[in-house]
């Protein structure tokens, strides 16, 4: 489920499923600080006197004055991804030599691995990275594991790949408000993979599980 939040400064945030945002009722005069866990798309109202900072569970910060960008920072995942749509952001992260800072330009994406400390900056597939906030899933030569992560967030399910050879597959397609089974059927036709729901007697299990084989 996608949620839209209007912050005290009139900035807007779209939250993806399994995500939450912590923010004050009123921002301080010279700073606007929020804490994100999960994925959010930010449209920040420009204010040169008040920097806007997004903190994540991975000890990273994204600082801006006014811009639009997407942050993916799920606590259970090692990577933090930030895609800049417009404006300029500064990405801060921990390294062995202390805090590091990197500036992003529109159309760039930074990926930070909180375990290895590796950082990559690349050209972003912007439409794909932000399509979730419109209820769309856009894939372009997307590796199967990344595609399934996108589906997992969108439909609140877990996937288990039991055939390692399937990890070589990638997919291209645009899906607008389509059911999960229709999307997986597209995957089946294009790659030959099969899928089935895993039955369980565990009443505490919150998500359905789907085997990809």
| pLDDT, tens only, 80-100 | 999 999 999 999 998 887 889
d(CA 142, CA 148): 10
Q: How many CB atoms lie within 10 A of CB 79?
A: 16
Mean pLDDT computed over 173-177: 93
Cβ count within 10 A of residue 203: 5
Residue in this structure with the two tokens 């050209």, named with its chain if needed: 123
* Between residues 200 and 55, the one the model is more confident about: 55
Portion of the chain with pLDDT greater than 90, in percent: 86
Q: What's the pLDDT tens digit per position in 110-125? A: 999 999 999 999 999 9
Predicted model pTM: 0.86
Q: Residue 203 has what pLDDT?
A: 67
Query: Taking 80 as the threshold, does the pLDDT of residue 201 lie above it?
Result: no
* Mean residue pLDDT across the chain: 94
Domains of the chain: 3-125 (2.60.120.1440), 135-212 (3.55.50.30)
């Amino acid at each position: 489920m996608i949620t839209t939040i209007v912050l005290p400064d009139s900035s807007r945030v779209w939250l993806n499923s399994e995500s939450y945002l912590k923010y004050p009722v009123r921002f301080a005069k010279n700073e606007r600080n929020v804490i994100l866990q999960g994925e959010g798309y930010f449209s920040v109202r420009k204010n040169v006197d008040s920097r806007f900072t997004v903190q994540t569970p991975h000890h990273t910060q994204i600082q801006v004055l006014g811009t639009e960008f997407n942050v993916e920072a799920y606590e259970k995942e090692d990577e933090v991804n930030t895609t800049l749509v417009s404006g300029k952001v500064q990405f801060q992260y921990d390294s062995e030599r202390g805090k590091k800072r990197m500036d992003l330009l529109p159309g760039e994406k930074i990926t930070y691995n909180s375990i290895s400390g590796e950082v990559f900056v690349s050209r972003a597939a912007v439409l794909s990275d932000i399509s979730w906030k419109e209820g769309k899933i856009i894939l372009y030569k997307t590796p199967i594991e990344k595609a399934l992560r996108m589906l997992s967030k969108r439909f609140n399910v877990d996937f288990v790949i039991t055939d390692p050879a399937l990890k070589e597959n990638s997919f291209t397609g645009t899906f607008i408000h389509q059911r999960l089974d229709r999307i997986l059927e597209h995957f089946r036709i294009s790659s030959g993979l099969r899928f089935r729901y895993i039955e369980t007697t565990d009443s505490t299990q919150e998500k359905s599980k789907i085997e990809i084989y």
